[in-house]
Every structure is written in C-alpha cells, then in structure tokens.
Amino acid sequence: MPEIAKFVNGGAGNITPAIAEKVLRQLPQWKLEFTQITAPKFPHLIDQLEFLADVVEDSVEGAYKDLPYLAVAQAVFALLYAHKKKGFLAESVLELGRADDSSVVRAVLIQNEKAFASYANAQGVNWQKITSQP
C-alpha cells in the first residue's frame, strides 16, 4: 500500500480548486457510471466511490468545510482515476479489472479515515458501510 499511497499523494498534489470544480460539474454523470461497475471482487467499491463523490460535492460547494483540502484533493484524484478509461489493469479482466481503482480508493480512505469518519457522522452516513475494505 505504500506505493499506492505515494501515487495518490503525488496525483493529489496536482489537484487545484479549478480541477475540483470541473470534477464537481461531472459528478452527476460519473455517479451514474459508477453504479454500473461490475466488480464482484470489490463489493465496497461503488459505495466508496459514491461516498467520495459526496465528499467532493459537499466540500467544493461549501456545504461541509471541515475537511482538510488534502483529503478533498485525494478524493478528487481517486474519482478521476476511477473514471478514466485506462488504468494499470484492463477493465475487461473481470477478476482484477477494478483492482487498481479499489487500491487507489482505499488508499484515500485509509489516509483520511478520521476526517472522513467525522464527515460521515455529520452526514448521517454509516461509516462502517463505507470502510476501507476492498
């Protein structure tokens, strides 16, 4: 996981408020796309992506201001990564096609667990349902 965390941190370092706002405008469509993910090996992935999308929406729109910007930037990076059409592993590889997406998302959740747990609590979201599990 340290290599994935470095990858996430490096990517998040390139996320500007302008990029976050651009992603915000794309989120309604992306949320629909995320619900279509078929990843039986990663049963939490859809809920995790939806959670991160909500984090970005609420933070960028100013509805929730208590998250560190690094946490928001990492969430934006994870959403961008999951939305992209090519990753480390081809999505057509049914067994592992979403392994890289899941790893990136979990790295973001793990690194920001305390802040995201507070956000989840404030929003009435069951943090245990989101978890940092694959």
Report the C-alpha gap between 126 and 106 in whole angstroms. Answer: 17
Tokens 């078929």 belong to which residue? Answer: 38
- Side-chain half-sphere exposure of 73, counting CA atoms within 13 A: 15
Q: Can you give the pLDDT at residue 93?
A: 46
In this prediction, residues 4-13 reach a mean pLDDT of 96
Report the C-alpha gap between 67 and 2 in whole angstroms. Answer: 23
Q: Can you give the pLDDT at residue 25?
A: 97
Contact 77, 11 (CB under 8 A): yes
In this prediction, residues 55-75 reach a mean pLDDT of 97
Q: Give 112's pLDDT tier (boundaries 50, 70, 90).
A: very high
Task: Express each pLDDT in 10-33 by its tens digit.
Answer: 999 999 999 999 999 999 999 999
Q: Give 97's pLDDT tier (boundaries 50, 70, 90).
A: low
